Amino acid sequence: MNSEFRHLPSVDRLLADRRLKRLSQTYSHTLLVDLVRRQLEDARQAISAGSPCPPLDDIVAAVSAQLNFLESPSLHPAVNATGVILHTNLGRALLSQEAISAMDAVAAGYCNLEYDLDSGRRGSRQVHVEPLLCQLSGAEAALVVNNNAAGVLLALTALAKRKEVIVSRGQAVEIGGSFRIPDVMRQSGAKLVEVGTTNCTYIADYEQALSPRTVALMRVHASNFRQIGFIHQASLEELIDLAKCRSVPVFDDLGSGCFLDTAAFGLDPEPMVPQSVSAGAALTLFSGDKLVGGPQAGIIVGRQEYIAKLRRHPLARAVRIDKIRLAGMAVTLIHYLKGEALTKIPVWRMISTPITEIDRRAHLWAQALGSRAKVTDGETMVGGGSLPGGTLPTKLVAVGGKSRSPGRAQSLAQKLRFQKVPVIGRINEDILLLDPRTVLPDEDKVVLGALRDLAAGLK
Ligand SMILES: *Cc1c(COP(=O)(O)O)cnc(C)c1O
């Protein structure tokens, strides 16, 4: 046998080490023993592969490093200076202070989640949001679930299983993160009947595809791409007219969906929830954490007879929303009712921030970087599966460029990502760009600290 194995310390010897003894005051014995065993196993494998036995100090250090890794949460705040407001990888919509407080309160204590205080009996968690959604959308009924993907899956499973749903070929899309309309249809057991062509679908295409097996027409908003040139999609109104004649419902997956008009800010018009409802969609489905600006959720509004079927379906339980997000969603919706969404909901505050204010902050940021940075004109994207073509004018802090060392922007970006609170920018043609529009004013001091650090390192 390889003599190196004999140098390996025993588990007990390691646990008796002064440093691990100190750790045993904080961590459970079982955890320490487990980590020590794992390190010894790694050492054995290294020895088998021809390495010498690691010194005891190294093994102790590895155990301590592993503990350090396990106890520091890997999910933590970051500053989004990318210029994409609804950045799915950075967590989409930020919440209003009021929504956060409401979520805090129900997280810390019991609440009347499914408890009717009048009767003292069991109630429904949906009562906390349904009246608000009906008021805001004009719909008869509403249901909030885990996310919009779950909402679409639930609707198709409960209402279209083993039946046909007609979708335009140009709308059988992939939203990202493996959510593809054809796959969701298959999963639900509904049969997708694609009509039209990639660029053009006319109402006559739907008409020809209608059969006794058709249970619904579905419209899917092209939320993350834009077609230009020779294109046509039948309008929601045409779909609803046709569906009415044949007594089938129209399901309208808006993706983002919103209650405020994006066109008022110079953005492309994004479909609005009340319009979909008043046009006559039987179900309108959208996300809670895109332009609505609330916590992750799937919102379904529409006709009572359909919503009731969704509510009763066993899948509804599997995709139900938790109490914490429900509390945040209710307060977010109340902001719209009170007409204070623009000032309270961060997504809309970002959209409506005047360019002069962005310019002021961009100059402040650039100053922290000294002569290396300049302020340039740029564009903020709404992102997150909404407004693929629409952007807002903004001011960007640009660092690097015309450098003789390619990849410099990458290394600057990495330095900002490695800050205690990571600051995430975007890179364009080897220039690092930072957009104050997607950063809360309260976060400026974090950004300024990071930028000063970066500047100091470059001296
Ligand atoms: C974003 C989006 C979805 C998925 O919504 P999630 O809330 O992310 O699950 C579904 N359909 C469309 C059209 C979308 O844009």
388 pLDDT more than 70: no
Give the ranges where 280-322 is alpha helix by DSSP (H): 304-312, 314-318
The dihedrals phi and psi of 196, each to the nearest 5 degrees, come to 80, -165
> Confidence band (pLDDT; 50, 70, 90) for 387?
low
Residue 29 lies in a domain: yes
> What would the two tokens of residue 370 be?
């000294």
2-11, 23-32, 304-313, 369-378 — most confident range: 304-313
319 domain-assigned? yes
Same domain, 357 and 339: no
Q: Single out the residue in 310, 344, 378 at which a domain terminates.
A: 344
Residue 407 sits in the same domain as residue 317: no
End-to-end CA gap in the chain: 56
pLDDT at 385 over 90: no
92 lies in some domain: no
Identify the CA nearest to 78 among candidates 91, 88, 68, 69: 91
Q: What is the bridge-based pairing of β-strands 298-302 and 141-145?
A: antiparallel
Q: Same domain, yes or no, for 112 and 201?
A: yes
User: Does residue 20 share a domain with residue 101?
Assistant: no
Q: Which residue in the block uniquely carries the two structure tokens 């005047």?
A: 354
Whether residue 331 sits in one domain with residue 206? yes
Position 178 pLDDT exceeds 80: no
pLDDT, tens digit, 9 for 90 and up, residues 117-168? 999 999 999 999 999 999 999 999 999 999 999 999 999 999 999 999 999 9
Number of folded domains that form the chain: 3
Q: How far apart are CA 2 and CA 142, in angstroms?
A: 70
Q: Which pair of structure tokens corresponds to residue 183?
A: 């796959």
Residue 405 reports pLDDT greater than 80? no
Of 24, 12, 20, nearest in space to 61 by CA: 20
* Mean pLDDT score, 350-377: 96
Measuring from atom 11 of ligand 1, which residue has the nearest CA? 255
Percent of the chain with pLDDT over 90: 89
Query: Token digits for 271?
Result: 């479909």
Q: How far is the CA of 287 from the centre of ligand 1 (A)?
A: 6
| pLDDT for res 176 | 74
- Extract the tokens encoding 166: 């007609």
Q: Are residues 289 and 429 in the same domain?
A: no
Q: Does residue 330 register a pLDDT over 80?
A: yes
Burial 115-148 (b: 16+ CB within 10 A, else e): eeeeeeeebebbebbbebbbebbebebbbbbbbb
What is the Cα–Cα distance from 59 to 323, expressed in whole angstroms? Answer: 44
The Cα 439–Cα 65 span in angstroms is 33
Q: What confidence score (pLDDT) does residue 371 get?
A: 86
- CA nearest ligand 1 atom 3, residue: 255
232 alpha carbon – ligand 1 mean position (Å): 22
* Exposed/middle/buried for residue 397 (C-beta within 10 Å: 0-12, 13-18, 19+): buried
CA-closest candidate to residue 285, choices 300, 274, 296, 275: 300
Q: Is 220 in the pocket of ligand 1 (CB under 6 A)?
A: yes
CA of 386, closest atom in ligand 1? 15
Q: Using a 6 Å cutoff on CB, does residue 255 contact ligand 1? A: yes
432 and 306: one domain? no
Encoded tokens for 165: 């749903």
Q: Does 91 fall in a domain?
A: no
Find where tokens 């340039």 sit.
376
The alpha carbon of 138 and the centre of ligand 1 are apart by a number of angstroms equal to 22
Give the domain extent around 44: 3-71
- The whole-number pLDDT of residue 185 equals 93
Report the separation in Å between the CA atom of 89 and the middle of ligand 1, taken as the mean of its atom positions: 14
Assess whether 320 and 189 both reside in one domain. yes
Structure tokens at 87: 């950045």
Q: What is the mean pLDDT of residues 318-325?
A: 98
- Is 295 inside any structural domain? yes
CA of 149 to the centre of ligand 1 (A): 6
Tell me what pLDDT residue 95 has. 98
**21 and 134 share a domain?**
no
Taking the centre of ligand 1 as the mean of its atom positions, its distance from the CA of residue 128, in whole angstroms, is: 23
Residue 316 has pLDDT above 80, yes or no: yes
In this structure, what CATH number is given to the domain that contains residue 423? 3.90.1150.180
Residue burial 295-314, b: 16+ Cβ < 10 Å; e: rest: bbbbbbbbbeebbeebbebe
Residues 6+ apart with CB under 8 A from 32: 15, 20, 23, 24, 63
Angle at 177 (CA atoms; ends 175, 181), nearest 5 degrees:
40
Atom 6, ligand 1: which residue's CA is nearest?
148
| Helix and strand element counts for the chain (H, E) | 19, 17
**Nearest 10 degrees: CA dihedral of 354, 357, 362, 367?**
170
Residue after which a domain boundary falls, among 327, 344, 361 = 344
Both structure tokens of 312: 């009763």
Contact 42, 63 (CB under 8 A): no
What whole-number distance in Å separates Cα of residue 17 and Cα of residue 9?
Answer: 11
Taken in order 151, 157, 158, 164, is the CA torsion positive or negative?
Answer: positive
Query: Is 417 within the bounds of a domain?
Result: yes
Is the pLDDT reported for residue 2 higher than 80? Answer: no
Determine the distance separating the centroid of ligand 1 and the alpha carbon of 181, expressed in angstroms.
10
Place of tokens 């009947």: 193
302 with 360, same domain: the answer is: no
Where in 35-87 does DSSP place strands (E)? 79-80
442 within some domain: yes
Tokens of 129: 């949001």
Residue 219 bridge partners (DSSP): 252
**pLDDT number for residue 311:** 98
Residues 373 and 401 in one domain: yes
Q: Distance between CA 327 and CA 107 in Å, rounded?
A: 9
What single letter denotes the amino acid at residue 355? I
Contacts of 431 (CB under 8 A, 6+ apart): 398, 399, 400, 401, 409
39-53, 181-195, 399-413, 445-459: range with lowest mean pLDDT = 399-413
Residue 115: per-residue pLDDT: 97
Length of the chain (residues)? 459
Among residues 344, 363, 394, which one ends one of the domains?
344
- The span from the CA of 363 to the CA of 375, in Å, is 6
pTM, to two decimals: 0.93
pLDDT of residue 389: 65
What pLDDT shows up at residue 386? Answer: 64
Ligand 1 in reach of 147 Cβ (< 6 A) = yes
Q: What is the DSSP letter of 49?
A: T
**Using CA atoms, how far apart are residues 139 and 357, in angstroms rounded to an integer?**
38
Asked whether 298 lines ligand 1 (CB < 6 A), one says yes
User: Is 284 inside any structural domain?
Assistant: yes
Whether ligand 1 lies within 6 angstroms of the CB of 175 is answered as yes
Q: Are residues 133 and 58 both part of a single domain?
A: no
Give the residue whose CA is nearest to atom 13 of ligand 1.
Answer: 255
Over residues 189-198, the pLDDT tens digits come to 999 999 999 9
* Atom from ligand 1 closest to the CA of residue 288: 7
Residue 64 has pLDDT above 90, yes or no: yes
For the stretch 221-277, pLDDT in tens is 988 888 889 999 999 999 999 999 999 999 999 999 999 999 999 998 899 999 999
Q: What is the mean pLDDT of residues 410-415?
A: 95
